[in-house]
């Protein structure tokens, strides 16, 4: 009886090539077709662990933690200055699912700075903002604007303490006019005081007090 020999089943070559192509662990710089490049750790062909990504077109660089191809953990994001030709830090802090999330510091053009909490890439939670004109806001944020309770200190020392909504004074609050030695306590709506009581407050120490004190009711 003739013996029939069947060819031994062999694995296609592309299976081996695919396994070799799957990047896993620490790798040298990997270049993309558009000129972007990444140096760092991988897992199942995705950026995962510590690594540095450079975007050629955006002229930006991120160095920090990655999770399954997205920025996740602690890291810093910088952009290339058009004049200095050096990378200038824009954000340093925590990330989640490729967006700013947790505590971090954001450096804005003109010297403005925000340090505080983020959620979904927006300022949300507690934070402190240093504005270009010298004003400082410290308090709660909601969807990238002051919302909740907070304090705004102006360059001349005057300050507002109270409620905020959509980035404007809203609800019960106090405005301290330290330059004239007065205090306005009342209710605000969309940055406008609707009602309140104005009294003398620290008038003797004020640099420019009013000519006459407010009479007591």
Q: What is the CATH number of the domain that holds 186?
A: 2.20.110.10
Per-residue confidence band for 1, with pLDDT thresholds at 50, 70 and 90: low
Asked whether residue 193 is domain-assigned, the answer is: yes
Domain extent for 131: 108-207
Asked whether residue 30 is domain-assigned, the answer is: no
Average pLDDT over residues 170-193: 95
Give one DSSP letter per residue of 179-214, joined into a string.
TTTEEEEEEEETTEEEEEEEEE-STTT-SS--SSPP
Number of domains forming the structure of the chain: 1
Asked whether residue 153 is domain-assigned, the answer is: yes
Asked whether residue 123 is domain-assigned, the answer is: yes
**pTM value?**
0.84
Q: Give the pLDDT confidence score for residue 18 in this predicted structure.
A: 55
% residues pLDDT > 90 (the chain): 72
pLDDT in tens, 133-159: 999 999 999 999 999 999 999 999 999
Asked whether residue 57 is domain-assigned, the answer is: no
Asked whether residue 165 is domain-assigned, the answer is: yes
Least confident of 22-26, 136-140, 173-177: 22-26
Asked whether residue 173 is domain-assigned, the answer is: yes
The secondary element (H helix, E strand) that includes residue 99 is strand 99-107
Asked whether residue 131 is domain-assigned, the answer is: yes
Per-residue tokens: 163: 């409620």
User: What is the distance, to the nearest Å, from the Cα of residue 90 to the centroid of all Cα atoms in its chain?
Assistant: 9
Strands 60-67 and 192-200: unpaired
Q: Give the pLDDT confidence score for residue 207 in this predicted structure.
A: 83
Does the pLDDT of residue 24 top 70, yes or no? yes
Average pLDDT over residues 206-217: 80
Does the pLDDT of residue 194 top 90, yes or no? yes
Average pLDDT over residues 111-135: 97
């Amino acid at each position: 009886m003739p013996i029939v020999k069947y060819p031994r089943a062999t694995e296609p070559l592309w299976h081996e090539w695919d396994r070799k192509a799957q990047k896993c662990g620490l790798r040298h710089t990997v270049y993309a077709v558009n000129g972007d490049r990444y140096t760092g750790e991988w897992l199942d062909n995705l950026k995962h662990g510590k690594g540095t990504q450079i975007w050629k077109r955006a002229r930006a660089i991120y160095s920090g933690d990655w999770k399954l191809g997205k920025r996740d953990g602690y890291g810093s994001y910088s952009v290339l200055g058009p004049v200095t030709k050096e990378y200038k830090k824009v954000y340093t802090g925590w990330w989640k699912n490729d967006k700013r999330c947790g505590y971090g510091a954001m450096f804005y053009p003109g010297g403005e700075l925000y340090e505080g909490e983020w959620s979904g890439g927006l300022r949300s939670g507690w934070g402190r903002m240093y504005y270009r004109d010298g004003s400082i806001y410290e308090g709660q944020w909601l969807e990238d604007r002051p919302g909740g309770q907070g304090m705004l200190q102006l360059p001349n020392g005057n300050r507002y303490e109270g409620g905020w909504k959509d980035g404007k004074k809203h609800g019960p609050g106090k405005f301290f006019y330290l330059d004239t030695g007065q205090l306005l306590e009342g209710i605000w709506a969309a940055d406008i005081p609707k009602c309140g009581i104005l009294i003398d407050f620290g008038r003797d120490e004020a640099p420019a007090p009013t000519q006459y004190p407010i009479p007591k009711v």
